[in-house]
C-alpha cells in the first residue's frame, strides 16, 4: 500500500510507480493473441472486483462514455434519475441529451435516496429505467444499491449504477444484487491513470438492448459484449493503459476485494474521527456533510466555517505538499473533499490529515 503518497484528490488518485512503469512497455497489435492475453488478464481480475461471472467491458474513455452507453441501451420509456449531487445530475443530463423522457427526483446535497422513496417514485411515474450514483463524488454520500435494486426490479424496471468512486473501494455485488448495468472509471478506487471506462451488464439487459435501434456506435454495449467474450475491444484500445490495468488487478487480487473494502472503511473511520476533532477543538462548523448512515468509504466531504473558502484551503494544503479537493459545484467554497481511496493506507492518510489540520489552524488564526 501507499504510505508515502501525497495525492488525496477524490480522483484521479495516486498511482503506484510500478503501475506507471507498466505503461512504458512496447506497443503490440490489438487484434493479436498477445493483446487477447492481456485483455483476458484484465477481465479475470476485474470479475472478482465487480463480483460477477459476467464479462467486463473495457472502453478507452472516461466513465461518462459508459454512462451514455447505458442510457442508449436502456429500455424505451421514462427514465427516473435519482439526483443527490453533481454526478447523479450528470446522469440525468446525459439521459436528456439522448432524447429520453426524464423524471428527476432531487434530494438535498449530502443526502441519499432510500428504497422506500424509490418504490413510491416508480409507482407514481411508471419509469422503466432508474439511474443513480453508488458513491456521489461531489458530496461523499453513499446510496443503498442493494435495497434500491430490489425495489426497482419489484416494479419491473432496470437499474443503471454509476459506481465511479464506489467500485473497488465500497462494497458492490453485481450478481448477488441482480444489477442490470454498473460502470466505473480507472482513475478512482482502482488507482490507475484516467482513460479507461469499465462496465458489466446482465444477460437480460444486453438481450433487451439488442432490440434497440438507437444504441449509437462507440458505446454500443451489445458490441462490447460480442468483443469481450473474445477478449477484444470493438475499437482500437489504449494499449498502455491495458498493461497498467492487467498489473493492477493482480495486485488487488493479492490484497483481496473484501480486505480492500475493509481498508477503505478504516480510512473513512479515521477521516470522520479527524473531522469530529476539528469540530470539537477548532470550530463547531466543521462536520461531515453526508449523514452517518450513508457515507462513502472512498471520499469525505467536510463542511467549513463561513470564514474559510474551499478553494483557498485546497491551495494552502497544496502549498504544504498534499493535494485534496475543494468542494464541487455549488459546494465549491463551503466544503473540502478528501479522497481516501485506491492504494492509500492509514499511515499516509494520517500525514495528509495532519497537514490539512495545520493549514486550517493557520487560516483560522488569520480570519
CA atoms of 249 and 44, how far apart (whole Å): 8
Q: Are 36 and 135 in a shared domain?
A: yes
- Arithmetic mean of pLDDT over the chain: 97
Are residue 21 and residue 107 in the same domain, yes or no? yes
HSE-up (13 A, CA, CB side) for residue 333: 4
pLDDT of residue 57: 98
Does 319 share its domain with 233? no
Residue range 92-140, pLDDT digits in tens? 999 999 999 999 999 999 999 999 999 999 999 999 999 999 999 999 9
Could you tell me the pTM of the whole model? 0.97
Q: Is the bond leading into 367 cis (omega within 30 degrees of zero)?
A: no
The pLDDT tens digits of the residues spanning 230-274 come to 999 999 999 999 999 999 999 999 999 999 999 999 999 999 999
Which residues neighbour 73 within 8 Å (Cβ) at sequence distance 6 or greater?
Answer: 181, 201, 205, 206, 209, 212, 215, 220, 221, 222
Of 101, 127, 71, give the one whose Cα is nearest residue 118: 127
Same domain, 215 and 272: no
Residues 85 and 231 in one domain: yes
Q: Identify whether residues 218 and 284 lie together within a single domain.
A: no
The predicted structure's pLDDT at residue 311: 98
Domain boundary among 255, 278, 306: 255
pLDDT, tens only, 215-230: 999 999 999 999 999 9
Domain boundary among 238, 255, 272: 255
Is residue 269 domain-shared with residue 215, that is, in the same domain?
Answer: no
pLDDT, position 4:
78
Contacts of 33 (CB under 8 A, 6+ apart): none
Report yes or no on 5 lying in a domain. no
335 and 289 in a single domain? The answer is yes
Of all residues in the chain, the percent with pLDDT exceeding 70 is: 100
262 and 198 belong to one structural domain: no
- Reply yes or no on whether the pLDDT at 1 is more than 90: no
Could you tell me if residue 240 is inside a domain?
A: yes
Query: 160 and 105 in one domain?
Result: yes
The pLDDT score that the predictor gives to residue 157 is 98
In this structure, is residue 245 part of a structural domain?
yes
Secondary structure (3-state) at 276: helix
Same structural domain, 66 and 111: yes
Q: What is the CATH number of the domain that holds 24?
A: 3.40.640.10
Determine phi and psi for 160, rounding to 5 degrees. Answer: -115, 120
> In terms of residue numbers, what domain contains 232?
17-255
Domain-terminating residue out of 212, 238, 255:
255
Residue 4 lies in a domain: no
Across the chain, the runs of DSSP E, i.e. the strands, are 57-60, 79-83, 102-106, 129-133, 135-136, 141-142, 158-162, 181-185, 196-201, 287-288, 299-303, 325-326, 335-339
Alpha-carbon distance 356 to 49, whole Å?
32
Closest among 332, 346, 323 to 303, alpha carbons compared: 332
Residue 11 lies in a domain: no
Q: How many domains does the chain have?
A: 2
pLDDT value at 308 more than 80: yes
pLDDT in tens, 31-86: 999 999 999 999 999 999 999 999 999 999 999 999 999 999 999 999 999 999 99
Residues 81 and 193 in one domain: yes
CATH label of the domain that carries residue 333: 3.90.1150.10
Amino acid at each position: 500500500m501507499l504510505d508515502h503518497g501525497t495525492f488525496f484528490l477524490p480522483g484521479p488518485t495516486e498511482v503506484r510507480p510500478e503501475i506507471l512503469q507498466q505503461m512504458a512497455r512496447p506497443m503490440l497489435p490489438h487484434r493479436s493473441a498477445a493483446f487477447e492475453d492481456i485483455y483476458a488478464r484484465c477481465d479475470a481480475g476485474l470479475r472478482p472486483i465487480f463480483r460477477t461471472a459476467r464479462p467486463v467491458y473495457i472502453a478507452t474513455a472516461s466513465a461518462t462514455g459508459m454512462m451514455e452507453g447505458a442510457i442508449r441501451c436502456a429500455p424505451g420509456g421514462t427514465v427516473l434519475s435519482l439526483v443527490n449531487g453533481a454526478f447523479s445530475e450528470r446522469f440525468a443530463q446525459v439521459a436528456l441529451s439522448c432524447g429520453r423522457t426524464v423524471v428527476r427526483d432531487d434530494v438535498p446535497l449530502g443526502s441519499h435516496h432510500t428504497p422506500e422513496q424509490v418504490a413510491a417514485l416508480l409507482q407514481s411515474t411508471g419509469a422503466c429505467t432508474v439511474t443513480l450514483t453508488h458513491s456521489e463524488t461531489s458530496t461523499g454520500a453513499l446510496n443503498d444499491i442493494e435495497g434500491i435494486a430490489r425495489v426497482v426490479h419489484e416494479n419491473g424496471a432496470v437499474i443503471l449504477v454509476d459506481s465511479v468512486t464506489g467500485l473497488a473501494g465500497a462494497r458492490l455485488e453485481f450478481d448477488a444484487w441482480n444489477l442490470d448495468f454498473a460502470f466505473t472509471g480507472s482513475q478512482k478506487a482502482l488507482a490507475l491513470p484516467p482513460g479507461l471506462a469499465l462496465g458489466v451488464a446482465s444477460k437480460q439487459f444486453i438481450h433487451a438492448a439488442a432490440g434497440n435501434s438507437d444504441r449509437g456506435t462507440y458505446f454500443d454495449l451489445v458490441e462490447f459484449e460480442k468483443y469481450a467474450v473474445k477478449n477484444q475491444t470493438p475499437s482500437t484500445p489504449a494499449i498502455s493503459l491495458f498493461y497498467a490495468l492487467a498489473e493492477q488487478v493482480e495486485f488487488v487480487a493479492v490484497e483481496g476485494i473484501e480486505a480492500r473494502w475493509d481498508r477503505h472503511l478504516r480510512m473513512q473511520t479515521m477521516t470522520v474521527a479527524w473531522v469530529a476533532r476539528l469540530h470539537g477543538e477548532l470550530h463547531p462548523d466543521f462536520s461531515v456533510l453526508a449523514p452517518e448512515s450513508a457515507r462513502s468509504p472512498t471520499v469525505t466531504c467536510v463542511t467549513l466555517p463561513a470564514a474559510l473558502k474551499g478553494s483557498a484551503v485546497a491551495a494552502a494544503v497544496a502549498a504544504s505538499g498534499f493535494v485534496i479537493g475543494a468542494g464541487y459545484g455549488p459546494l465549491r467554497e463551503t466544503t473540502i473533499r478528501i479522497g481516501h481511496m485506491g492504494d492509500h493506507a492509514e499511515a499516509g492518510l494520517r500525514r495528509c490529515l495532519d497537514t490539512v489540520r495545520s493549514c486550517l489552524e493557520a487560516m483560522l488564526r488569520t480570519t
